[in-house]
Amino acid sequence: MTAAPPPGGPGGQRLARAALSYLAEPGDPALGALLGFCDPADVLAAIRADLLPGIGPGCGDTPASRAALRRALGRWRARLPALPADADIAAACSAGIRLVCPGDAEWPGRLDDLGASRPYALWLRGSADLRSASTCSVSVVGSRAATGYGAHVAGEVAAGLGERGWTVVSGGAYGIDAAAHRGALAVGAATVAVLACGVDYPYPAGHQQLFADVAAHGVVVSEWPPGRRPARLRFLVRNRVIAALTCGTVVVEAGARSGALNTARHAAELGRPLMAVPGPVTSAQSAGCHRIIRDWGATCVTCAAEVVEMVSPLGGPGAQAPGPGAQAPGPGAQAPGPGAQAPGPGAQAPGPGARPAPGRAAAGPSRDDLDTDSARVLDAFPARGGTGAATLAVEAGVDLDTVLRCLGTLAGYGFIERCDRGWRLRRSA
């Protein structure tokens, strides 16, 4: 059987972007900055040769930046032994999976608004053209532990959007995400699922058929290469793509600490219209929605027609000219600046070695108390058995010094404990 042609042409640059998606975690600021002024093939060659890529004087070339780049080079090189051969990477673009890179006809231009956090490339599975599908799209997100009320509203809003020619984008999770995808599918509309794992890795496993249906009518998207498993922090990293891909974001139901608020924060930072569906004031599952309406300036919406009214000025099906004096929501107009009150990753996290905040001890340690690196290392632990620091560094995509620093933090919080094979998760973690 003849192998699929390399995902390239100029082949080297595309193949390099595919390889980089195996070596670096999405959203890595060091790699994002490098790709701003270096060809992907040159960056990949530098990683393989253990050499710093050439950095011009106008590109922030300072001793501190070079030290940070050297650390990044170490964590990328740690994954080189597991990097598939070029032929195997090319073969991954088969069985309905394809690679889309910046500059391709299918690349959604809105993702460029992420700047240095723009995806290196996207792996896709599905029948729809991603650029076309996302041109008039709305993200509908919310809690995994959705109530009957929340699931019903999400399905109705998604179906109403689909009937009006809008694509529904969500994360494929249980609860509100699933209800949104199914609402769009029920009316034969396109929907996009943005995953925190490989597009061939059905997570949650119970949504294998849902993802097949999404691929048949829309597209399944991921920054992670085929075969990559999900991790807790990857869902938060993934959320910026959901927000950037669409004309606006609707939070249907979310608790006070829901990950959906992270998507909402990204939407606000990008200047996208931010909307929320109100719920019963007695429902903890709607506390996050009420918060972003009250504190972030999100618009209260109750149906698809109101959502379309908010996003249509940006150019969508059924768009109408704004009324006298009306304006499309401007950047930053709907929410405070990054991290002002949002529970985004690391917004208020203590540094390595910090102690839990007063009043938290009685409730036990919380992942929300962890800094980003410690959360990434914790996600890298196997569910059972022990593992060593070097293995954790490769899996987490950080350098060994970072792992050693984070192990003390994680042990102090009670998430991990020593064992004969190194470290393992505590039963209560």
Whose structure tokens read 């980089």?
20
CA–CA dist 301, 331 (Å, integer): 20
- Is residue 5 pLDDT above 50, yes or no? no
Which two three-digit tokens encode residue 355?
Answer: 């102690």
For residue 239, what pLDDT band results from cuts at 50, 70 and 90?
very high
Q: For residues 145 and 123, what is the distance between their CA atoms, to the nearest angstrom? A: 28
CA pseudo-torsion sign 194, 197, 198, 203: negative
> In this predicted structure, what is the pLDDT of residue 58?
45
Give per-residue burial for 107-123: e unless 16+ CB within 10 Å, then b. bbebbebbeebbbbbbb
Q: Round to whole Å and give the CA distance between 20 and 195.
A: 18
- The closest alpha carbon to 121, from 103, 104, 101, belongs to 101
Mean local confidence (pLDDT), 53-66 = 62
Fold entry, domain 361-425: Arc Repressor Mutant, subunit A (1.10.10)
Residue 129 has pLDDT above 80, yes or no: yes
Q: For the chain, what is the mean pLDDT?
A: 83
**Which distant-in-sequence residues (6+ apart) come within 8 Å of 421 by Cβ?**
385, 386, 387, 388
Considering the chain, what percentage of its residues have pLDDT values greater than 90? 56
Q: From 51, 81, 56, select the one nearest 69 (Cα to Cα).
A: 51
Q: Read off the pLDDT of each residue in 122-139 and give the average, rounded to a whole number.
A: 94
Average the pLDDT over 140-153 and give the result: 96
3-state SS, residue 180: helix
Strands 274-276 and 97-100: unpaired
Question: Number of C-alpha atoms within 13 angstroms, CB side, residue 45?
Answer: 9
> How confident is the model over 147-174, as a mean pLDDT?
96
Distance from C-alpha of 350 to C-alpha of 96, rounded to nearest angstrom: 43
Element (H, E) at 33: helix 29-34
Q: Is the dihedral of CA 245, 249, 254, 258 positive or negative?
A: positive
pLDDT of residue 131: 93
User: Strand pairing of 167-170 and 274-276?
Assistant: unpaired
Q: What is the DSSP letter of 387?
A: B
Residues 149-166 as b/e (b if ≥16 CB within 10 A, e otherwise) read: bbbebbbbbbbbbbebeb
Closest by Cα among 197, 200, 157, 195 to 176:
157
Please state whether the predicted TM-score (pTM) of the whole model is above 0.85: no
Q: Is 283 exposed, middle or buried (0-12, 13-18, 19+ CB in 10 A)?
A: middle
The CATH classification number of 109-314 equals: 3.40.50.450
Which own/partner contact pairs does 34-38 have at CB distance under 8 Å and 24+ positions apart?
A: 34/69, 35/120, 36/116
| Residue owning tokens 């393989």 | 48
307 phi and psi angles, rounded to 5 deg: -65, -45
> One fold for both 109-314 and 361-425?
no
Domain extent listing, the chain:
11-92, 109-314, 361-425
Q: In this structure, what token pair is assigned to residue 372?
A: 């980003």
More confident residue, 198 or 355: 198
pLDDT at 124 over 90: yes
Amino acid 364: pLDDT: 54
**Is residue 339 over pLDDT 60?**
no
pLDDT (tens digit per residue) in 187-224: 999 999 999 999 999 899 999 999 999 999 999 999 99
